Chains A and B, each alone.
Chain A
């Protein structure tokens, strides 16, 4: 890697980071407003026009609050856990092609050959943060939350991973840019693998600990689950990590099933810089749609019982995903024979 490439990549990282951070802030804002509207309330609308500056006020509050470390916690892990939750959520974004090209540059930070494996690997790191938080807090509710989340995330990672195998069998490559290329010529993958998308979506809810699968937090039983003992910026980091995970999951869904930066009538890679930005805009628009789905579903469905969650993961999704893989394998094999 030359110095120039290094500089360009660094610039991309800074760009993506400074795009995702406000997105997190405004997802929280959107969540609060949408929640309020669904509950016949108005929601925060005081800071700035229609509460548009509320995230700044929230951030300021999180920083200024007392950062309290209880005396009984395992301090080193207690400090480490928020960072371990927060960082992997961002690292997933590295392989997402969030646009076509800008000038001569591809709009992706790392065009990895093993793209999707990388992101699954990183996502599975996220569970350590939560487990560690539960362990380090040295208190019963976080502990239960940590245990629940580890079991849940590991279970659904399997279902999630298996659900997307047909996609890569169809594309024949793990690189996410190649997945986009395939969709450019063949149409969006949702048409080829709807069941995969369906399972991926539900597993994503479980992976990001969102309702109806928010058992690690389940405030009615566990106070606040793994982040009960956290306050101030450490709590905010868990919070931001959760939303960053949601953004990453949305981005993955858009990339894998909904054609990334493409619209049915926009399929050619950008020739001008303006078109490049337009493609990024399309990608972000699709992502925001899925963020909306995440938020909306929270108020639509009640929380699953833990045994129902495990039952759904292991006894429904894993066999279904395996069968799905088999069906696609046979179909592809038959197609190859016919040629």
Chain B
């Protein structure tokens, strides 16, 4: 198909309508609202279900929920998680959490934010949160330890309250640690 080129009128061939049109568009955009988001101060709203950095959580009574079952460590595809279980004695002074981890490290440089750890966790102790810009000056700084993960993870509102009930049970049996 051949489309005939439109014949321009003399006024149009003077190029002036094009200039005026350009001026109109540029002036309009000059004064219009800007779309730039000024990043560190303004941030986008992270949608529900976003898979950000995995952190550990505590329950409402301040107990670490993790029981060092190491399922997340084994399921983690890039092997970013390393858990040191407390050993047979347990850690003194952790309430009656049976096996709270003595050390729990996530290497955020290795983590691929797949969410397998969250899925596999039987205790609902690890969650992928909404943090997406993790920065550090050294590789070491990017290996988050237990304290840091717990501090970042915060409290998870636990409806089952397993350890609370276990503590009550122990009290009834007169076996408080």
Contacts and interface: CB of A to CB of B under 8 A. Distances in A.
Interface of A: 34, 36-42, 296, 299-301
Secondary structure type dominating chain B contacts: helix
A37 B30 contact: yes
A38 B23 contact: no
B36 A41 contact: yes
Contacts of A39: 29
Interface in B1-55: 18-19, 22-23, 25-26, 29-30, 32-36, 38
B36 A296 contact: no
Contacts of B34: 37, 40-42
A299 B35 contact: no
Contacts of B23: 300
Contacts of B38: 42
Interface residues of B, number: 14
Contact of B18 (A36, A41, A42, A301): A301
A301 B29 contact: no
Interface of B: 18-19, 22-23, 25-26, 29-30, 32-36, 38
Secondary structure type dominating chain A contacts: helix
Contacts, number: 32
A144 to B, nearest CB: 26
A40 B19 contact: no
Contacts of B19: 300-301
Nearest to B37: A42
B22 A41 contact: no
A38 B29 contact: yes
A286 B53 CA distance: 56
16 contacts: A37-B29, A38-B30, A40-B32, A40-B33, A40-B36, A41-B35, A41-B36, A42-B36, A42-B38, A296-B26, A299-B22, A300-B23, A300-B25, A301-B18, A301-B19, A301-B22
B29 to A, nearest CB: 5
A34 B26 CA distance: 10
Contacts of B25: 300
A39 B30 CA distance: 7
A36 B35 CA distance: 11
Nearest to A299: B26
A39 B32 CA distance: 10
B73 to A, nearest CB: 42
Contacts of A38: 26, 29-30
Contacts of B22: 299-301
Nearest to A296: B26
Contacts of B35: 40-41
Given A41-B34, A300-B23, 15 more contacts: A34-B30, A36-B36, A37-B29, A37-B30, A37-B34, A38-B26, A38-B30, A40-B32, A40-B35, A40-B36, A41-B36, A42-B38, A300-B19, A300-B26, A301-B22
